[in-house]
Amino acid sequence: MSSVDDVIDDVLDDDAYYDPDEKIIIPEGSYPAHIISFYVSKEKPTRYGNPYNIYKPVYRIDESVDIYGGMSVSDKGIFRFRGKNNNPSKKSNSKGNLPYKTMLDKLEIPLNKVVVNGKEVYRLPSVDESQVYGKPVIINVYHDTFKGSYGVQKVAVANIAHAWKDGKPLDGSPQF
């Protein structure tokens, strides 16, 4: 039986630990995965004043993958640029929405076509975590290198290659 001092020592433990096995970087390649988180940034203005958001999915590699199954990897982020809010002095950036449209297509989120200024375009809806949590996808993992306060760092990042047709969605809902 533990003494009160042992319990307090466990709670107030001020030691720090490092496990070198946790520094595993997932190798580059394609992996079956599920979306386990979907962060949407607060709206910010571009230098031209147009609002935008950044969407950052987090993927968990499927348990069927040896060694790396169960590991998580983040997307670098996908921008969604909004319109000019009827202000002709602002520049539009609809071509910057191609990566966002591509993500919606890969997640099989239906898009509506609308006519704007006599031209047929796609209306790109905002997406939240409840719409994509647990979706089975195939991801491409690649390595991103950057210089930080600890020197040159290398991290694994991912993007969606396509829907995982044989994958089963995760049960449940997002854990907040």
- Tell me the whole-structure pTM to 2 decimals: 0.81
The pair of three-digit structure tokens given for residue 167, joined into one six-digit string: 């994958």
pLDDT at position 47 is: 86
Under DSSP, the state recorded for 68 is T
pLDDT at site 2: 56
* pLDDT tens-digit series, residues 13-23: 678 877 776 67
Token pair of 142, please?
Answer: 């690649």
pLDDT of residue 57: 97
pLDDT of residue 176: 42
CA distance 173 to 128: 13
What pLDDT does 49 receive? 84
Tokens 């390649």 locate to: 29
How deeply is 63 buried, as exposed, middle or buried, from its count of CB atoms within 10 A (0-12, 13-18, 19+)? exposed
Question: For residue 97, what are the contacts with CB-CB under 8 A and spacing of at least 6?
Answer: 79, 80, 81, 124
Question: pLDDT tens for residues 54-79?
Answer: 999 999 999 999 999 999 999 999 99
Compute the distance between CA of residue 16 and CA of residue 130 in angstroms, rounded to an integer: 36
**Which stretches in the chain have pLDDT values below 70?**
1-13, 21-22, 84-93, 173-176
Query: In this structure, are strands 151-163 and 72-75 parallel, antiparallel, or unpaired?
Result: parallel
Please state, in angstroms and rounded to a whole number, the distance separating the CA atoms of residues 149 and 58. 24
Enumerate the domain spans of the chain.
26-163
pLDDT single digits (tens) 79-90: 999 876 555 555
Q: Which helix (H) or strand (E) holds 38?
A: strand 29-40
